[in-house]
Amino acid sequence: MAFEDSELTPQEKAIILLTNFYKTLPNNTEYAVAKANEFLNGGKTNDEETISGPRLYSFSKDANFIYAAFRQTHGVDLNRDNLHWWIFLALFMDLGQETTFCNLVSLRKRIKTGKASKEEKAAAREMGDILEVPEIDDRSLEEKEIEKEFFRKVAEAQQRNKK
Query: Which has the closest alpha carbon to 29: 10, 6, 57, 49?
Result: 10
Is 148 within the bounds of a domain? no
Residue 93 lies in a domain: yes
Q: Write the pLDDT tens digit of every residue in 69-100.
A: 999 999 999 999 899 999 999 999 999 999 99
Closest of 26, 46, 27 to residue 38, by C-alpha:
46
Instruction: Please report whether residue 97 resides in a domain.
Output: yes
Domain presence at residue 87: yes
Considering the domain boundaries, does residue 76 fall inside one?
Answer: yes
52: pLDDT strictly greater than 70: no
Mean pLDDT of the chain: 88
Contacts of 142 (CB under 8 A, 6+ apart): none
pLDDT tens, residue by residue, 112-148: 999 999 999 998 899 888 888 877 777 777 887 888 8
User: Which residue range(s) make up the domain with 89?
Assistant: 56-133
The pTM assigned to this predicted structure is 0.75
Number of alpha helices (DSSP H) and beta strands (DSSP E) in the chain: 7, 0
Q: Which residues of 54-84 are buried (b: 16+ CB within 10 A; e: fewer)?
A: eeebbeeebeebbebbbebbbebebeeeeee
Into how many domains does the chain fold?
Answer: 1
